[in-house]
């Protein structure tokens, strides 16, 4: 009998222990859910706070000019496309389409030039030994640290003397000669993380330096090159000072300048038009970014992480 009662004791303790463990597990799961919920609420709140100006911008672009100041919410009371229609026509003889075209006329050659020239320069720095390499690379890094404004005036005088004012050349040419030290640096770092065995194999296979670059290095640089192009695209799209300094005729204005144009020329600002055109202006950059996002992140992280 005593044996049986022992066994039942053990069974009771066992069941009690199990119940306790279950309770502990449940508590843990409850806590985890609670903390996750809290985390997401905070993240959502902060995210919304940061995105709110953008959301408001989109909402306000569909409002009438008077409603923008009367209604603080972002949903328009009576949505209208008036801002887009009038804004597109602009107060100049050209439509906004012309300015978009100008923007792309600046961006496309600049991005292509950057990609080609920076790849070549980075390849040379990362893979070849040549006289004064260290000094030259140090100066590239030094340029990185130099504030842009320092070079504005000498550059302006140089391009004025070349007779390039009021043309796209001052915007294209520096980039076509690997003038953007940041991109060179980024590609060099990326290349250094890639072992050079593949390139040596290509050399043994009979490739010269150019063939090695084109067939082997460039494909491996892919993610980094996409990041370079994306950065250059967005920065050029957003660049205001460059076009402002070098372009004087309205028919050559890119969108960044054209937006300012609508502020200047009207006495009472048509805010809804400005906001509508701002929405259109940021759209290409957003589309391109989300399309290339995967490669973009790969490109900027790989340089530092791989080893």
Partner 1 sequence: MARLQLNKLEKIYGGGFKAVHGIDLDVQDGEFMVLVGPSGCAKSTTLRMIAGLEEVTAGEIRIGERIVNALPPGKRRIAMVFQNYALYPHMKVRSNLAFGLRLAHVPKAERDAAVDEVARILEIEPLLDRLPKQLSGGQAQRVALGRALIKKPEVFLFDEPLSNLDAKLRASMRVRITQLHKRLKAEGMSSTVVYVTHDQTEAMTMGDRICVMKDGHIMQVATPKELYDRPANLFVAGFIGSPEMNVMDGQISDGAFHIGTQSVALDAGLMQRLQSRPDQAAFGIRPQHLRLSGHDGLRARLQSVEFMGHEVYLHAELDGHQITSVATAADYEAIGTDDDAIHLTPEPGQGHVFDRHNGTNVSLPVAV
Would you tell me which residues interact with partner 1 (CB under 8 A)? 195, 197-198, 200-208, 211, 215-216, 219-220, 222
Cβ proximity to partner 1: between 8 and 200 the closer is 200
Rounded least distance, CB 131 to partner 1, Å: 13
Q: Following DSSP, what letter does each residue of 3-52 receive, concatenated?
A: HHHHHHHHHHHHHHHHHHHHHHHHHHHHHHHHHHHHHHHHHHHHHHHHHH
- The C-alpha atoms of residue 236 and residue 108 are separated, in whole angstroms, by 10
Q: How many CB atoms lie within 10 A of CB 62?
A: 21
From 260, 257, 253, select the one nearest 274 (Cα to Cα): 260
From 162, 27, 170, select the one nearest 110 (Cα to Cα): 170
Rounded least distance, CB 294 to partner 1, Å: 16
Rounded least distance, CB 220 to partner 1, Å: 7
Structure tokens at 199: 């390139």
- The C-alpha atoms of residue 281 and residue 259 are separated, in whole angstroms, by 9
- The C-alpha atoms of residue 170 and residue 166 are separated, in whole angstroms, by 9
Rounded least distance, CB 203 to partner 1, Å: 5
Cβ proximity to partner 1: between 197 and 267 the closer is 197
Cβ proximity to partner 1: between 86 and 203 the closer is 203
Rounded least distance, CB 230 to partner 1, Å: 20
C-alpha dihedral (270, 272, 274, 276), degrees to nearest 10? -150
Rounded least distance, CB 212 to partner 1, Å: 10
Residue 11 CB burial class (10 angstroms; 0-12, 13-18, ≥19): exposed
Cβ proximity to partner 1: between 45 and 222 the closer is 222
Cβ proximity to partner 1: between 206 and 307 the closer is 206
Rounded least distance, CB 138 to partner 1, Å: 19
Cβ proximity to partner 1: between 77 and 200 the closer is 200
| Residues 6+ positions from 159 with CB-CB distance below 8 Å | 165, 169, 170, 246
Cβ proximity to partner 1: between 212 and 227 the closer is 212
End-to-end alpha-carbon separation of the chain, Å?
71
Is 253:99 a contact under the CB 8 Å cutoff?
Answer: yes
């Amino acid at each position: 009998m005593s044996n049986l009662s022992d066994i039942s004791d053990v069974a009771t303790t066992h069941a009690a222990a199990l119940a306790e463990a279950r309770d502990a597990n449940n508590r843990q799961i409850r806590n985890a859910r609670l903390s996750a919920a809290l985390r997401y609420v905070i993240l959502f709140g902060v995210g919304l706070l940061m995105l709110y100006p953008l959301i408001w911008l989109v909402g306000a672009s569909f409002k009438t000019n008077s409603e923008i100041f009367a209604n603080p919410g972002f949903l328009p009371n009576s949505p209208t496309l008036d801002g887009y229609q009038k804004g597109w026509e602009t107060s100049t003889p050209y439509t906004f389409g012309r300015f978009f075209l100008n923007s792309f006329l600046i961006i496309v050659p600049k991005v292509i030039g950057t990609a080609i020239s920076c790849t070549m320069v980075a390849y040379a720095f990362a893979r070849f030994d040549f006289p004064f390499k260290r000094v030259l690379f140090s100066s590239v890094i030094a340029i990185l640290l130099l504030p842009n404004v320092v070079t504005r005036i000498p550059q302006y005088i140089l391009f004025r003397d070349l007779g390039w004012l009021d043309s796209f050349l001052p915007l294209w040419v520096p980039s076509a000669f690997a003038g953007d030290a940041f991109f060179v640096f980024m590609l060099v770092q990326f290349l250094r993380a890639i072992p050079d065995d593949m390139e040596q194999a290509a050399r043994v296979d009979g490739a010269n330096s150019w063939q090695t670059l084109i067939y082997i290095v460039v494909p491996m640089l892919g993610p980094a090159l996409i990041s370079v192009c994306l950065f250059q695209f967005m920065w050029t799209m957003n660049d205001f000072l460059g076009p402002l300094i070098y372009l004087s005729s309205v028919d050559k204005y890119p969108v960044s300048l054209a937006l300012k144009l609508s502020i200047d020329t009207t006495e009472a600002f048509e805010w809804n038009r400005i906001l509508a055109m701002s929405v259109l202006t940021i759209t290409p950059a957003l589309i391109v970014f989300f399309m290339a996002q995967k490669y973009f992140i790969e490109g900027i992280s790989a340089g530092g992480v791989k080893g």
